[in-house]
Amino acid sequence: MLENYFPVLMFMLVGLGFGLAPVILGRLLAPYRPDSEKNSPYECGFEAFEDARMKFDVRYYLIAILFILFDLEIAFLFPWATVFQEFIAAGEIAWFVFGSVMVFLAILVIGYIVEWKNGALDWE
Amino acid sequence: MNFVVPDFYPAAAEIFVAVMALVIMLASTFARSVARNLAYLLTQATLIAAAFITIFTMEGEVVHTFSNLFISDLLGDVLKLMIYFSTAIALLYGRGYLADRKIDKPEYYLLALLMTLGMMVMVTANHMLPMYIGLEMMSLALYTMVAFDRDSARSTEAAMKYFVLGALASGLLLYGMSMVYGATGTLEFSGVAQALYNQTANQTVLMFGVVFLVAGICFKLGVVPFHMWVPDVYQGAPTAVTLVIATAPKLAAFAMAVRLLIWALFDIAEEWQMMLMLVAAASIVLGNLAAIAQQNIKRMLAYSGISHMGFMLLGLLAGVVEGDRHFALNAYSSAMFYAISYVIMSLASFGMLILLSRAGFEAENIDDFKGLNKRSSWYALMMLFVMFSMAGVPFFIGFFAKLSVLQAVVAAGYFWLAVLAVVMSVIGAFYYLRVVKVMYFDEPVDSSPIHAAPEVRVMLSANGLAIAALGLAPQALMSLCAFALLRSL
Amino acid sequence: MSDMKAIYLLVPLAPLAGAILAGLFGKQIGRAGAHVVTILGVAIAFVASLFIYQDVAAGNTFNGTVYTWMQAGGIDFEVGFLIDSLTVMMMLVVTFVSLMVHIYTIGYMSEDPGYQRFFSYISLFTFSMLMLVMSNNFLQLFFGWEAVGLVSYLLIGFWYERPTAIYANMKAFLVNRVGDFGFLLGIGLVAAYAGSLDYAEVFAKAKELSVTEMAVTGWPLLTAICICLFIGAMGKSAQVPLHVWLPDSMEGPTPISALIHAATMVTAGIFMVARMSPLFELSDTALSFVLVIGATTALFMGFLGIVQNDIKRVVAYSTLSQLGYMTVALGVSAYSAAVFHLMTHAFFKALLFLGAGSVIIGMHHDQDMRNMGGLRKYMPITWITSLLGSLALIGFPFFSGFYSKDSIIEAVHSSTIAGSGYAMFCVLLGVFITAFYSFRMYFLVFHGDERFGKAHDHAHHDHHGDHDDEEPSADHHHGLAPGQKPHESPWVVTLPLVLLAVPSVLIGFFTIDPMLFGEWFKGVILVGDNHVGLRELAANYHGPVGMAIHGLQTAPFWLAMGGVALAWFFYMKRPDIPAAIQRTFKPIHTLLENKYYFDRFNEIFFAAGARLLGRGLWKAGDQALIDGVAVNGSARLVGWVAQMSRLFQTGHLYQYAFMMIIGVFVLLTYWFNRG
């Protein structure tokens, strides 16, 4: 019963290792010459500690939203890719499955064109 | 996995509208100079063409497709036609208003079209997921439209409230759906109904789910106690957007209620009927009473809308009495008739507000209607029709709408509810008649002439006359509702 | 049958279209346009009626729904037509008289500023009356009933600047409300107990209803229904004591006096009772009630005609009296005789009214008979047609009035129902009185000295105290200037007179066979086996000629001749005698002049009593209870609740969200607590 969870334990250990290793290695191998700028936490060009209700540029949202959009849409392609094999085996229906994903991508492309054309990708 | 290529034919209208939305998106991007008019005209053309497609693909019988996610029946077709119709009229009325305020961007029409698509998906959903996707599609477009006047603090505040509360309601709805799924093991409406029929569902979990579903539906209809957004949003949004919110989405919400409650949960009708009874009674009381205290006519109409939706629920809650389902068809068709009548009246009432507004002036107080008879006796008469009809004066369409739901309630034996509704609508007549009084008996505060595009004048007159004409001959529309339901059940 | 349906619809809709065109677009189409469209509409209706008549005569009747207006409580509210012999006869009478009156109006109203309005009203009236007679259900009957009442109200007050006209139309409206109240109660009883408003369905249940008793009171149901319905008829057909509005209605223009207050609308009550014969036949009590009311009206209203000096009022009282005759016929189950008299009366009374109108035109709107005399020379067509009309009215053999009136008298004679003895006395004496006042009018107007063109010694000719403010009405009685002569009216006025004179003389002779003794009303009008009706008369009937010759030997004829002779003696030979009688029998004359004090009685008892009651209810009920407690109190409560509800609408998002969560909890709690 419990051994079923062994891969999970392994996964956690590996994950932990991946997280810790760069930090430890960096500390061991890199030169260490701290100054105040280097010690301040990095947060996208903002002051780390100030009023949370400050104003900041709406363009961050735009980028974030566009990123999430495309990120999520791409996420749909992974499950599709895994089952596509089975549909190829099933024969003619494969074209339908392929086509529907192409339509899906076409909609994405149109959205991409529109946002590009409207200047959503220009920072200035 | 036995996966088959679905039949696209029943969904032709939905696909067409989706493609046209993309076309409009591209067209208004690349033809920036004429984008305003192009987007408007293409949107109207799309709505008209979609109506034709819906009519031509009408099957007269129930068809399922897309692995039972999609249902095509006469009920859906009739509601879709009404949705195109009311959206098209709302855009027609609102165009000049938006242009006066320099917010008639092509995106507005695109959003309206996407909202329409969302509603179409809701109307034809046979499964919780498309229902939810359609709902979100409609809602997101609406949130944005409310905030369309970006520089107006009131408008953006309203949009924010609408968005946050809408998100909360979506959460409730999703939670309800997941519980129903937990209880029955399926999200498909007919599957849920089957599970209820076999009595394999876990009752407690199911009931939790139903409460949350009802809460989600009630939010979209805007009935007490899920109505709090309604007055603020109606008042805050630009009048042209208020007009959109107050019309077609009510039909979509009605469709959602019908699909979820009747298609899926009919076997436990007596349970949700009790809940609806509470909210309906509360809405009718609070809507009518609170409307009296309003000076702002958009708020007044918002509260009046709350009470109207309460009345509409009277029809939905009178379907099954002690296991007897004979009343169901009559009751549900009366609710449908009420929803459609309300949309027609609502179009005309907000259309009148738009007519009286102009660049730099918002007609939104009752005082703005003072002496309308002196300024334009024709539109005063049209407003009189609308107000009388909303108040339920014979013989306007609103009277027959009220009469038919009351008949349904009485037939179901809920006399106290009918009496309450009648008393409240008598009290409610006060605020409608107050508008009529200021139109005819007060001196005009501002006597500037009324100017509007000819198509708005014609359509608004036709709209007002339709209220009177349908009141004289309500039988056709009533029969249509009954027939559509009969062929779909 | 469906092709006939279009024609049925055409009959009421053509006048309606005319009324709408003339009424709403009167300014645009002008005076000529107004009379062209309305006359065209009515003419179409008349021709269509003739066509339907042929169809019905060929045996095709119709009973069906045209439009279902709504359904409520298991009762259908419909617009439907019942086309049978009775209906088609009424349709012909209504459209024909209406057509004549339309044409006549061109001449009579030629100088009136309200020309288009008048045409619109009379066409609207024609529509309403047709809806009334063509109805196949009580609801539409009531609609037509109220619609003709409304148009009558509008037309009596047509000259709305005159206070007397406004007083008269108000009076007509209020008195009719009393009748309508009974009528509506009757319809309500029918709907409640028969569960239908359709004639055929109600008649099918008549037997069942006749043995039912009313809830609570235990009254016999059918008698109550019939009496309630008849109270409606009493209002509309001006039967004692609800007759008081009809003489005053003469304030309206003369064409409508002819059309509405003589030929058609006032006979609606008679028509309705005849239509309801399957119900009335089952209640002897109701029939006796009808009989006594009718007999009283027939005689006592005739007396009043004797003392009138206004030419139109004489005709008005004769109308009342003749309506009494029709009601008597209903009371003795001689429905077909009543309807027959209704038809003949429609022609000759319209003729008399239009003749009187022609005289009034000739006299430049002076209506006082004491200012006339000798008009025969100046207005020959009016004279001859009026003579024919008068002969028809008094029932001179071979004239149409003879056949109808004699049939009624014979029917009363053979009847055994309670009150028939009294009725016999009334109708016989009535014949004498009718002849007397008819020929009094005829002699005063057309024969004797020429009294017109003199200075008005009767400047304050009173209408016999029917209302106190006579002054304003004097200003429309222009009269002839000294030395001026009356002249014959234009052809549009005389043509209808001639066209109406033809049926006034002939129609009785030609239609008595089928209508009274033939098969014409078979299956439409029912006479129970326990009632004699016209059976005894039929047994002794040997054709119209035989009946007329036999009529020469009977009492009614000699009574009528006596009346004529007496009138001639009093007003041609010895004009001093009436004055002497008037002096000798002062109390009786005063009683008649004051019309039996009905108006005074109504004013004191009903008007003052109603005012007192109203004041009491106003103070105690309205101001204290309703205004104080119910209206203001509930308004305050509503206002308070409204203000409270605003407090909840704070505008704070978190409160809104909190409300929603509370709502979900309420629903959940509610669900779990109901077990």
The residue in chain A having the minimum alpha-carbon distance to the alpha carbon of residue B3 is: A93
Residues of B in contact with C670 (CB under 8 A): 274-275, 278
A36 lies in some domain: no
Residue of C nearest to B224 (CA): C663
In chain A, what is the straight-line distance between the N-terminal and C-terminal CA atoms, in Å? 58
CB contact under 8 A, A117 and B25: no
C542 and C404 assigned to the same domain: yes
Give the pLDDT confidence score for residue B13 in this predicted structure: 93
Chains touching chain C through at least 3 C-beta pairs below 8 angstroms are B
The full 3-state SS of A104-117, as one line of letters, equals HHHHHHHHHHHHHH
> At residue C269, does pLDDT exceed 50?
yes
Q: Read off the pLDDT of residues B27-40 as tens digits, 9 standing for 90 and up.
A: 988 888 888 889 99
C contacts of B479 (beta carbons < 8 Å): none
User: In the prediction, which pLDDT does B22 show?
Assistant: 94
Residue C583 resides in a domain: no
Q: How many CB pairs under 8 A join A and B?
A: 20
Report the residue of A98, A114, A117, A121 to disrupt the B interface, i.e. the one with the largest count of B CBs within 10 Å. A114
Amino acid at B379: Y
pLDDT of residue C457: 47
What ipTM score was computed for the predicted complex, to two decimals?
0.82
Q: Report yes or no on A106 lying in a domain.
A: yes
A113 touching chain B per CB within 8 A: yes
Contacts A87 to B, Cβ<8 Å: 3
Q: Which of A110, A112, A116, A121 should one mutate to test binding to chain B, selecting the residue with the greatest count of B CBs within 10 A?
A: A110
Choose between C484 and C179: higher pLDDT.
C179
A118 part of contact set with chain B, CB < 8 Å: yes
Per-residue pLDDT reduced to its tens digit, B223-253: 988 988 999 999 999 999 999 999 999 999 9
Domains: count for chain C: 2
- Closest residue to C663, CB basis, from B225, B229, B292: B225
Kindly tell me if the per-residue pLDDT of C607 is higher than 80. Answer: no
Per DSSP, the three-state class of B161 is helix
Copy the structure tokens of residue C72. 């409520």
State how far the Cα of C170 lies from the Cα of C176, in Å rounded to an integer. 10
Q: Tell me, what's the pLDDT at C466?
A: 42
What pLDDT, in 10s, does the model give residues B82-98?
999 999 999 999 998 99
Backbone angles phi, psi at C75, to 5 degrees: -110, 135
Q: How far is A97 from chain B (nearest CA, A)?
A: 9
Highest mean pLDDT among A24-33, B457-466, C488-497, C556-565: B457-466
Q: Which domain holds residue C668?
A: 600-673
3-state secondary structure C9-45: HHHHHHHHHHHHHHHHCHHHHHHHHHHHHHHHHHHHH
pLDDT at C1 over 80: no
Q: Which range of residues forms the domain containing residue A75?
A: 55-124
Contact yes or no for B420/B428 (Cβ under 8 A): no
Which chain A positions have a beta carbon within 8 Å of B30's beta carbon? 117
| pLDDT for residue C455 is more than 70 | no
Q: Does position C461 have pLDDT exceeding 70, yes or no?
A: no
Q: Which residue of B has its CA nearest to A119?
A: B29
Tens of each residue's pLDDT in chain A, 124 residues? 777 888 889 999 999 999 999 989 988 888 888 887 777 776 666 666 667 777 777 778 888 888 888 888 888 888 888 888 887 877 777 788 888 889 999 998 998 898 888 888 887 7
Predicted pLDDT at C73: 60
What's the token pair of residue B237? Answer: 């949004």
Residues C622 and C556 grouped into a single domain: no
Evaluate whether residue A79 is within a structural domain.
yes
How do residues C271-307 score in pLDDT, each as one tens digit?
A: 999 999 888 888 888 899 999 999 999 888 888 888 8
Q: Give the residue from chain A lying closest to B29, CA to CA.
A: A114
Q: From the CB coordinates, do chains B and A have 3 or more pairs under 8 Å?
A: yes
Secondary structure (3-state) at B188: strand
Over residues B288-303, the pLDDT tens digits come to: 888 888 889 999 999 9
| pLDDT higher than 50, residue B458 | yes
Which residue in C646, C651, C663 is closest to B226 by CB distance? Answer: C663
B219 contacts C653? CB cut-off 8 A:
no
**Least confident piece of the model among B376-385, C29-38, C569-578:** C569-578
Q: Which residue of B has its CA nearest to A87?
A: B3
B276 touches chain C (CB under 8 A): no
Residue A121 touches chain B, beta carbons under 8 Å: no
- Which one, of C297, C364, C290, lies nearest residue C332 by Cα? C290
Burial of C274 (0-12, 13-18, 19+ CB in 10 A): buried
Task: Report CB contact under 8 Å: B25, A90.
Answer: no
Average pLDDT taken over every residue of chain C:
83
Residue B256 C-alpha, separation from nearest chain C C-alpha, in angstroms? 19
Let me know if residue C534 belongs to a domain: yes
Locate B202 and state its tokens: 């876990």
What average pLDDT does this structure show over C461-488? 54
**Mean pLDDT (whole number) for B98-108:** 89
Segments in C447-575 forming alpha helices (H) = 471-474, 491-512, 535-539, 543-551, 555-568
Same-domain status, C263 and C178: yes
Q: Is residue C590 part of a domain?
A: no
Does some domain include residue A109?
yes
CA distance A117 to chain B (A): 7
Please choose, from the candidates C247, C237, C202, the residue with its C-alpha nearest in 3D space to the C-alpha of residue C222: C202
Residue B336: pLDDT band (50, 70, 90) is very high
Q: Are residues C550 and C663 in the same domain?
A: no
- Kindly tell me if the per-residue pLDDT of C176 is higher than 80: yes
Partners of C667 on chain B (C-beta within 8 Å) are 211, 214-215, 275, 278-279
Checking if the pLDDT of C473 tops 50, the result is: no
* Chain A stretch 39-78, residues whose beta carbon is closer than 8 A to a beta carbon of chain B: none
CB atoms B292 and C638 under 8 Å: yes
| Closest among C426, C285, C384, C357 to C103, alpha carbons compared | C357
In this complex, which of A90, A107, A118 lies closest to B22 when CB atoms are compared? A107
User: What mean pLDDT is predicted for residues C184-188?
Assistant: 90
Nearest CB to B5; choose among A93, A113, A117: A93
Count of the separate structural domains present in chain A: 1
Q: How many helices and strands in chain A, by DSSP H and E?
A: 4, 0
Interface with B, mutate which of C71, C634, C641, C648 (most B CBs under 10 A): C641
Residue A16 lies in a domain: no
Q: Is the pLDDT of residue C487 over 50?
A: yes
pLDDT for C229-252, tens place per residue? 999 999 888 888 888 888 888 888
Residue B251's pLDDT is what? 95
Other beta carbons less than 10 A from residue B465's beta carbon: 14
Domain boundaries, chain B: 272-489
Q: At C454, is the pLDDT very low, low, confident or very high (cuts 50, 70, 90)?
A: low
**What are all long-range contacts of C636-639, with beta carbons under 8 Å and residues at least 24 apart?**
C638/B289, C638/B292, C638/B427, C638/B430, C639/B292, C639/B293
Q: Which two tokens stand for residue C424?
A: 């016999």
Rg (CA), chain A: 23
Closest CA to C390 of C328, C453, C447, C451: C447
Do residues C618 and C657 share a domain?
A: yes
Does the pLDDT at position C460 exceed 50?
no
Q: Is residue A99 part of a domain?
A: yes
Q: Which helix (H) or strand (E) covers residue C112, if one does?
A: none
Would an 8 Å CB–CB cutoff place A96 in contact with chain B? yes
* pLDDT higher than 80, residue C327: yes
Task: For chains C and A, tell me whether 3 or more CB atom pairs sit within 8 A of each other.
Answer: no
Distance, CA of C206 to CA of C189 (rounded, Å) = 13
Task: Look at A113 and B29 and tell me if their CB atoms are within 8 Å.
Answer: yes
Average pLDDT over residues B205-211: 90
Residue given tokens 């905030």 in the structure block = B147
